[in-house]
Structure 1
Amino acid sequence: FAKGGRLFYIGAGTSGRLGILDASEIPPTFGMPHERVVGLIAGGDTAIRKAVENAEDATQQAWVDLMMYDINDTDVVVGIAASGSTPYVIGGLEDAKKNGILTAAITNNPGAPIAKIADIPIEINVGPEFLTGSTRMKSGTSQKLVLNMISTALMIKIGRVKGNKMVNMQLSNDKLVDRGTRYIMEGLDIDYTEAAALLKKHGSVKLAIDAGKQ
């Protein structure tokens, strides 16, 4: 990632939607371009809101979807499947490995096929669902936690966070502008008015703090 590679999530149904959710939160939270973390779902964007019949059974489709982004061996593919046996995800991971791409898998079924295929298996045993087979519940919740850990740890490692502050967040509303101003106050030990002026001048918390320390 530090060399320009990207992080791709692939999944079907709830798992696919959770990958898209995590990817969509990276630009506003960490100020990264949309194309650095990408979520793909079986059935395409239509499947985000409405289930697409048989989409998850298309073994070759994930690689077709990834190729639309000119995926290469600097990228990473994370397959997400509660059962660990979703054909769309299995096919995507297999094709990624054939092309020398680092792979990981998130599953709630230890020993599942995707865990055996991936270079880095992440197996979360949450036990039986309250509603049998409804993996949007415990499995989905655990997947979201793991996705948050992966992306947040990555953003911390590449310097998009300072301490525990989102210094690269997009200042897209008054609440976030106020939060950013307070981060600057704390970081530079200055009053609100001066911090607000610095933020307005530099357009980002990180740039304002860096300028204030010079």
Structure 2
Amino acid sequence: MTLNLFSQFASPSLMGIPLILIAMLTPWLLFPTPSPRWIHNRLSTIYSWFLKIFTKQIFTPLNTPGHKWAFLLSSLMVFLLGMNLLGLMPYSFTPTTQLSLNLGLAVPLWLATVTIGLRNQPTMSLGHLLPEGTPIPLIPILIIIETISLFIRPLALGVRLTANLTAGHLLIQLISSATMTMAMTSITVTLLTFTTLLLLTVLEIAVAMIQAYVFVLLLSLYLQDNT
């Protein structure tokens, strides 16, 4: 029986309970909680080092008012990173392959950055819709184009994360199916496809980490324009 390639992205359920909820809660259970001890174990030390490097990298270009978002964006990075990596494990489900979840994260956060800009510095926020030195005949056209690009931002955030993870999962499934099929015919071709599968898995791990970082980085850039 031939299964649909996209059936792996359907949200599974058990006894009427959607398992996407378990997949979304699992990353928070795996990361260590802060300890009151002076000496931490290796996992807590690596986790603290990662958060320190990440917050320094993201929030150094931002103004002081934007530093209030440090906890939110750091938590979002950990959340996305955990779901992306856990989704690569066998018999698991990747919630970030669902466009509805990604848009549910992107739209409110993007809207919050725009709202902050309009509340604190409305002149600067509206000034981004019209580049300085624009000829008068092009002003209406550029305002329409910049407005459309502004509203496309959350859609681009969600689609980028969904498309990259979906494409990687599909390639892994296709090459793994080819490896199983070739195992009965040619050992040489099987070894080649299996090596390709291993390299693609390493690449997909890198993509899972990079896409989580890019999602948060773009949000910080939107925040930088409005603070």
TM-score w.r.t. length of structure 1? 0.24
Which structure has the highest strand share of the two? 1
Q: Which is greater in Rg?
A: 2
